[in-house]
Amino acid sequence: MRRLARRHQQLTEEVRDTDRDLAPLVNAAGPRLLALLGVGIDVAGQLLASAGDNPDRLHSEAAFVMVDAGIDFDVLRAEIDAQLTAQSPS
């Protein structure tokens, strides 16, 4: 039990250190995100990491979900177009 408690303390310190290291990076990369109500270091960091070099990919909540899930927009669009074409009367 002591070993588990020590490990918990070590991991807690590691998370704290990582958060401390992450804060200035997120502040530098996304100060406007952090200015939004309810957006902290964790949320802003996730959004910045997900957007990468193309923030236009996150134009809506649904787009963020698809990016975060690793869905390729072009493949999805092609599948939707093929289904619509197959359903349309000739």
Domain range for 10 is 1-52
Please tell me whether residues 2 and 27 are part of one structural domain.
Answer: yes
Confidence of residue 86 (pLDDT cuts 50, 70, 90): confident
Cα distance between residue 41 and residue 24, in whole Å: 9
What pTM does this model have? 0.55
pLDDT in tens, 7-64: 999 999 999 999 899 999 999 988 888 888 888 888 888 888 877 777 777 777 777 6
Confidence of residue 5 (pLDDT cuts 50, 70, 90): very high
DSSP state at residue 56 = G
Please tell me whether residues 47 and 13 are part of one structural domain.
Answer: yes
The vertex-65 CA angle with 60 and 68, nearest 5°, equals: 120
